[in-house]
């Protein structure tokens, strides 16, 4: 009975009820939106300091710099290879299935266009000029970079000082995880409210007009999650992907409903260490970094979206242009923050690279929130598999 009413199962029920309430009782869904917002806010409140502390602890607790190189190199290799594989899968699926001819153009892409993403702005965004400002503005990459530097510096301190600093941060890290556990018990309610609101606000009908595009993205994501990542998990992580999925599903459900890898981080860390048995130092390093730069779902979706918009505008994409999409979508996904709709903004890089009109983003806006839910779950799934694999190779 207790198992039946586990948080994971209640969360699934929350999603189903959310869809029903959002569809049949939209007014009520709007009325309870504040519950989901509160849930998301508290997750975000924990996520930012947690990212700082957990990256710090995972590095400062290493015995040497070579350990860091070992883990860092493997993590980066995993992130890039799987992201590239995701984009490749997206492009192949588009070439095989195509989009048919369903189209519905909406206006309102000004917001996105205002924040055009370029390689220069990306590099600039990595370097903090005021670390407190980075915290206030939630600039996760800057926070991670600063945390890595500070932790590496700590490794060079004399033993007594090093122990004081790392001991304090380690305790703080545990306290944050404890806090996260309390918040996790509210997941079913938060998820119910968030899903109900999205369905009430966007309506399931919008999906229908763009269904060809939605289907291609979903098929691509499915293939990547089940086959690509599943096989990688089995071969390199020596883990049965289905069983692993059951262990970590709580994090995937939270990712689905919050559309934010960063907000999901407290939950991912918890399931990785408590349920999947991943070492704390590995989870503390691989997951925060992954939540920020490893986005397989986003990368795949950006490549498909660019090809879809080209299709709508009647632009033929040559093989060379598809290669450019492949490269830029991989990079754009790295640059996307782990927050809702971040992928929509960094997609401007892909559009600019192949000369697609930025207004084209308006075409896919209507279904973006739905696809964000799915791609964020895949982003987090990729992070969790990465953690499992790297855990196996790190002593």
> Where on the chain is the footprint of ligand ASP (CB under 6 A)?
259-261, 295, 298, 336, 338-343, 372, 375-376, 379
Q: How far is the CB of 22 from ligand ASP (least distance, A)?
A: 19
Q: For ligand ASP, which is the closer residue by CB, 54 or 379?
A: 379
Distance CA 331, CA 350 (A): 9
Closest distance between ligand ASP and the C-beta of residue 371, in Å?
A: 8
The smaller minimum CB distance to ligand ASP, of residues 154 and 379, is found at 379
The nearer residue to ligand ASP, 222 or 234, going by C-beta atoms, is: 222
Residue 106's nearest CA partner among 337, 374, 369 is 369
Distance CA 103, CA 310 (A): 12
Q: In this complex, which beta carbon is closest to ligand ASP, that of residue 289 or of residue 394?
A: 289
Report, in Å, the least distance between residue 393 CB and ligand ASP. Answer: 25
206 or 260, CB closer to ligand ASP? Answer: 260
Q: How far is the CB of 262 from ligand ASP (least distance, A)?
A: 6
Q: Which two tokens stand for residue 264?
A: 């999901």
Structural contact between residues 85 and 223, judged by C-beta atoms closer than 8 angstroms: no
CA distances from 331 to 122, 154, 255, 302 (A): 10, 31, 22, 11
Those residues with Cβ within 8 angstroms of residue 188's Cβ, 6 or more apart along the chain or in another chain = 7, 10, 11, 13, 14
- Cα–Cα distance measured from residue 278 to residue 292, given in angstroms and rounded to the nearest whole number: 19
Q: How far is CA 166 from the centre of its chain?
A: 28
Rounded least distance, CB 333 to ligand ASP, Å:
7
* Residue of minimal Cβ distance to ligand ASP: 343
């Amino acid at each position: 009975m207790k198992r039946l009413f586990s948080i994971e199962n209640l969360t699934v029920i929350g999603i189903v009820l959310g869809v029903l309430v959002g569809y049949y009782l939209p007014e009520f869904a709007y009325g309870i939106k504040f519950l989901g917002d509160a849930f998301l806010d508290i997750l975000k409140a924990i996520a930012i300091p947690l990212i700082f502390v957990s990256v710090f602890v995972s590095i400062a607790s290493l015995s040497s710099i070579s350990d860091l190189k070992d883990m860092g190199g493997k993590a980066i290799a995993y992130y890039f290879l799987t992201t590239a594989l995701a984009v490749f899968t997206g492009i192949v699926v588009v070439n095989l299935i195509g989009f048919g001819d369903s189209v519905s153009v909406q206006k309102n892409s000004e917001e996105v266009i205002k924040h055009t993403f370029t390689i220069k702005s990306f590099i600039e965004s990595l370097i903090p000029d005021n670390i407190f400002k980075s915290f206030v503005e939630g600039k996760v990459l800057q926070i991670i970079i600063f945390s890595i530097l500070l932790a590496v510096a700590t490794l060079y301190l004399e033993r007594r000082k090093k122990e004081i600093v790392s001991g304090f941060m380690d305790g703080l890290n545990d306290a944050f995880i404890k806090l996260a556990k309390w918040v996790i018990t509210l997941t079913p309610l938060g998820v119910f409210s968030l899903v109900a609101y999205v369905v009430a606000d966007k309506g399931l009908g919008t999906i229908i007009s763009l269904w060809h595009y939605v289907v291609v993205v979903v098929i691509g994501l499915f293939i990547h999650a089940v086959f690509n990542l599943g096989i990688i998990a089995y071969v390199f992580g020596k883990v049965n992907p289905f069983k692993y999925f059951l262990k970590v599903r709580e994090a995937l459900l939270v990712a689905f409903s919050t559309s934010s890898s960063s907000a999901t981080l407290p939950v991912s860390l918890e399931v990785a260490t408590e349920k999947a048995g991943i070492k704390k130092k590995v989870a503390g390093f691989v997951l925060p970094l992954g939540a920020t730069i490893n986005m397989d779902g986003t990368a795949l979706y950006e490549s498909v979206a660019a090809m879809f918009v080209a299709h709508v505008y009647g632009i033929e994409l040559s093989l060379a242009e598809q290669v450019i999409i492949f490269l830029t979508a991989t990079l754009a996904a790295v640059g996307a923050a782990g927050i809702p709709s971040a992928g929509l903004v960094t997609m401007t890089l892909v559009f600019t690279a192949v000369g697609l009109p930025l207004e084209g983003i308006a075409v896919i806006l209507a279904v973006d929130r739905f696809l964000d839910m799915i791609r964020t779950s895949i982003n987090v799934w990729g992070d969790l598999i990465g953690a499992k694999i790297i855990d196996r190779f790190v002593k």
